[in-house]
Amino acid sequence: MAFLPPWASALVGCISVSLAGAFNLSDLHPPLWNKSPGQFSDYRVENGKYIIDPWVYPKRMGMYKILLNKTASYFEKFAPDNELNLFWGLPLQHGWQYTTGRLVDPSQRTDCGYESGDHLCISVDSWWADMNYFLSALPFLAAVDSGIMGISSDKITLLPPPKDQTKFCLNISSCQSSFPKTMSKWNALYKQLQSLSSSFDDLIKYLWDAHISALKDAYKIFEDRLDYYSKPEGDFGRDWYVSLDYLAAAYFPTTIITVTEFQKALPPRVLVDSDRAPFISNFTDLQNTVLLGLNLLHQVDDATGSLSLAVWKILMKTEVARKIALKIFETILAAFQHF
């Protein structure tokens, strides 16, 4: 970890130690990782194009698996075994969405995603799934466009969802024309990745830039999907969306270990009407506290008209402050591990 800035190395190091014991990185892979396509040839080919259905969980996961595979060499200088690949955050979050029941049809009009129905189906009515589309299809297509995937741009087509097709871009050219700013940010990240001089910090910054831009595009389009959920779940979605800006500004390193640890703090199932943080009886203290904390952060952000975010961003411009923020975060995670 010699090439990491000290703050990131402290965070990654501390959490690694806390996980030591059961330490096998492949244990941390998202669900069905082994069953997901790991190379282009695992997908169907039609008229010379690979056809990917991003509305089937392992197929969407396969896009991440290929991305992780094709970007591995650029992260080797930071650590072996792809451990510090910053793209791990994306498939892990998607795995969390799957495990916690957030990809199912929240309107319950279809059996999409349900255990008793088509359990690998990703519902186009799921807010989480639609937000994730912009964090899976777009970075994947931009990676193809940037040349790092080793296939040409016209060789990929994504299948549309069963409805609302026009809300989703399906190939590189349509994503670029519909979401030019976000696609160029993903491209900027891949350019940075290929530049030998890029530091870990630089990559985190470019990644979060693209990530936040993608979420902003998606949020506008899909905000009304939150109406399908209970009030606590809808609030959590909004709180989560706002909080990511703060996490991004702190340069949270989205490696396999830090994100795995972080996810222990997130709600392990979709929230129901009777859920009131911090009093949700079958959540851990950490999950209750974080849920409440995200809501408070959102309220502060609203009350100050996002001035709090502006101030936070200024604070986080210095490496020392980012180090302190991550240290606090790490201390909270560590403290709760004993409960």
Binding test (CB under 6 A) with ligand NAG, winner from 13, 38, 101, 293: 38
For residue 313, what are the CA distances in angstroms to 27, 285, 303, 307?
35, 29, 17, 10
Question: Would you say 305 or 339 has its CB closer to ligand NAG?
Answer: 339
Site for ligand NAG in 75-94 (CB under 6 A): 82
Instruction: Give me the sheet containing 44-46, strands edge to edge.
Output: 44-46, 49-52, 156-158
Binding test (CB under 6 A) with ligand NAG, winner from 26, 41, 47, 116: 26
Q: Does 282 bind ligand NAG (CB under 6 A)?
A: yes
Q: Does 69 bind ligand NAG (CB under 6 A)?
A: yes
Q: Does 268 bind ligand NAG (CB under 6 A)?
A: no
Q: Kindly report the backbone phi and psi dihedral angles of residue 250, in degrees, each rounded to the nearest multiple of 5, phi listed first.
A: -85, 5
Q: Does 45 bind ligand NAG (CB under 6 A)?
A: no
Q: Does 39 bind ligand NAG (CB under 6 A)?
A: yes
**Angle at 276 (CA atoms; ends 28, 114), nearest 5 degrees:** 50
Question: Would you say 49 or 119 has its CB closer to ligand NAG?
Answer: 49
DSSP 122-172: --TT-HHHHHHHTTTHHHHHHHHHHTTTSS-GGGEEEPPPSS-GGGS--SH
Binding test (CB under 6 A) with ligand NAG, winner from 12, 61, 112, 170: 170
Q: CA–CA separation, 277 vs 283, rounded Å?
A: 9
Q: Nearest approach, Cβ of 40 to ligand NAG (angstroms)?
A: 10
Choose among 209, 267, 262: nearest CA to 18. Answer: 262
By CB under 6 A, how many residues form the interface with ligand NAG? Answer: 17
According to DSSP, the residues that pair with 50 across neighbouring strands are: 45, 156
Which residues contribute to the site for ligand NAG (CB under 6 A)?
Answer: 24, 26, 38-39, 69, 72, 82, 154, 157, 169-171, 173-174, 272, 274, 282
